Structure 1
Amino acid sequence: MNDFANIRTLQQAIIEFSNPDKCIEYVVSMRWPDGVVICPICGRNDVTWLLTQRKWQCKSKHAKRQFSAKVGTIFEDSPLGLDKWLMTAWMIVNCKNGVSSYEISRNIGVTQKSAWFMLQRLRLAMKSDDSGMRGDLVAP
């Protein structure tokens, strides 16, 4: 699963993004396409997966040695789970008439203010620059 192209219907999106492990797997495949997870602080690639906490731990001794898939992305500093973020992204990409923060709020069960915040971050990440290159998950 590398993009939203494989998920055609709302029902498929709900099923796909309801599992937290699949959400992490999706973000990892987008962020580290070669499959090697790299520490965002020191750059080491020999990190350990902590199954019960659903995050990695770097083998170097430094501050913030434990990190999740959200660190360094547009999802960082958000208390909302990846399930809500990915469902919102899917809705933005697949609703041909656009989607409002009120609609997101009703559909994923967050406040309208949270939905507006999510839409702003996702739209910024999806924005094209002058060269035609699409944005990505990495925080600006």
Structure 2
Amino acid sequence: MINQDFNNVLELIQAFPDQQSCIDHLEELRWNGNVVSPFDPTSKVYDCKGNKYKCKNTGKYFNVKTNTIFDNTKLPLQKWFLAIWLVTSHKKGISSIQLGKDIGVTQKSAWFMLSRIRKCFGIDDNEKLQNEVEADETFVGGKNKNRHADKKFHGTSDDKAPVLGMIERSGKLKAMQVPNTTYETLAAEIMKNVKESAKLYTDEYTSYKRLKRVYDHKVVKHSRKQYVKGRVHTNTIESFWAILKRGIFGIYHFTSKKHLQLYVDEFVFRYNTRQGSETERFNLFLQNTENRITYKELING
């Protein structure tokens, strides 16, 4: 099943006609014939009836859904698979209202599913970006009445939150919500995620100036209407900002600062898997479903 391609929704439904076919696919992706206990990875595991297993060391029972986004769900896995397919294949995402209509659940259930799905998008292999890297920051949120000229404001406004992005040319993208846009904050994230041997390209924002002490740092001066200087530009990362903002404003309309990183992770995941097939993206997600969030955690605050 892992090697089977699902080129559209119909083929996905045909490939997973019932709950058992979904369970078999998850087991193959997660364990590949070697079942591992979520309670004690070193423990021997006993195969029980009804797709259940028993951890010898803890005496606890589990199945392939335990400690994943599917844990304790009352919805069939077919609906979850379809939801994941729709979220990962739509370039700008899908709203909870539309998802609810498409898979036949309430808007509230669809919102909870989407929130759980987004929690699993933050896949980071901790590999630093290298070669030619563009870095830029943007503000995401509602109408920013307090937005300043030339980015002189270092904090966050009441209705927008800053997001820092770094992208390796022809490579991966990393983006994260940051508390402010001071040198200390931006430099710390850049040095954490970009190799010192990289060529770093930014605009002339003052918080980037001292990075020349660490990197081969080149700047384009947007305030002078300079956007490209040879290979020096930030057009790639700015293109991603356009996709992110069109998705949030056009599909989701609003996101709180509390959940902004989840939305950013969603768009980063799709961007970093853009060269793969829909099936590869779908299976990659299913291999990273252990980052579970509860409904109480979602609504708290």
Q: Shorter-chain TM-score: which interval?
A: 0.7 to 0.9
Q: Is the 8 A contact 1:36 1:45 kept in 2?
A: no
* Partners of 1:8 and 1:49 in 2: CA distance: 35
Q: In the alignment, what sits opposite 1:139?
A: 291
Structure 1: how far apart are the matches of 2:105 and 2:26?
A: 21
- Secondary structure, counterpart of 1:75 in structure 2: coil
1:93 aligns with 2:104: no
Question: Normalization by structure 2: what TM-score?
Answer: 0.40
2:54 alignment counterpart: 57
- Tell me, yes or no, if the aligned pair for 1:48 and 1:58 is still in contact at 8 Å: no
Which residue of 72, 76, 80 maps to 1:81?
Answer: 76
Match of 2:2 in 1: 2
Alignment of 1:14-93 (within 5 A): 14-32=13-31, 34-43=32-41, 44-50=43-49, 53-60=50-57, 62=59, 65-93=60-88
Please tell me whether the aligned partners of residues 19 and 78 of structure 2 are also in contact (alpha carbons under 8 angstroms).
yes
Please state how far the C-alpha of 1:78 moved relative to its aligned partner.
2.0
- Bigger RCO (CA 8 Å, 6+ sep): 2
For the residues of structure 2 that align with 1:9 and 1:88, how far apart are their CA atoms? 13
Give CA-to-partner distance per residue, 1:90-115, whole Å, 9 cap, x none: 11112234211112111212111010
Distance 1:126 1:8 in 2: 21
Shift of 1:61: 6.1
Aligned counterparts of 1:88 and 1:96: Cα–Cα separation in 2: 14
1:14-73 CA deviation, whole Å, 9 max, x = no partner? 1223321210122112322x42111222332432141xx2322334562xx221211011
Instruction: Report the Cα distance in structure 1 between the residues aligned to 2:24 and 2:106, rounded to whole angstroms.
Output: 27
Report if aligned partners of 1:38, 1:47 keep a CA contact under 8 Å in 2: no
SS in 2 for 1:106: helix
Structure 1 portions without partners, runs of 5+ = none
Q: C-alpha deviations, 1:67-87, integer Å up to 9, x for none?
A: 121101122132222211111
Structure 2 unaligned segments of length 5 or more: list them.
Answer: 128-171, 175-268, 270-284, 293-301
CA distance in structure 2 between the partners assigned to 1:56 and 1:16 by the alignment:
25
Rg comparison, structure with higher value? 2
Inter-CA distance 37–59: structure 2 relative to 1 (3 Å threshold) = same
- Percent identical: 31
Q: How many residues align?
A: 134
Q: Is the 8 A contact 2:100 2:106 kept in 1?
A: yes
Give RMSD over aligned pairs.
2.6
Residue 128 of structure 1, CA deviation? 4.1
**Helix, strand or coil: the match of 1:47?**
strand
Q: Which has the higher strand share?
A: 2
Find the aligned partners of 1:40 and 1:87 in 2 and give their Cα distance.
25
Q: Kindly tell me: are residues 121 and 24 of structure 1, through their superposed partners in 2, closer, same or farther at Cα, counting changes over 3 Å?
A: same
Question: Secondary structure at 2:120's aligned position in 1?
Answer: helix
Residue 96 and residue 38 in structure 1: after superposition, are their counterparts in 2 closer, same or farther (change >3 A)? Answer: same
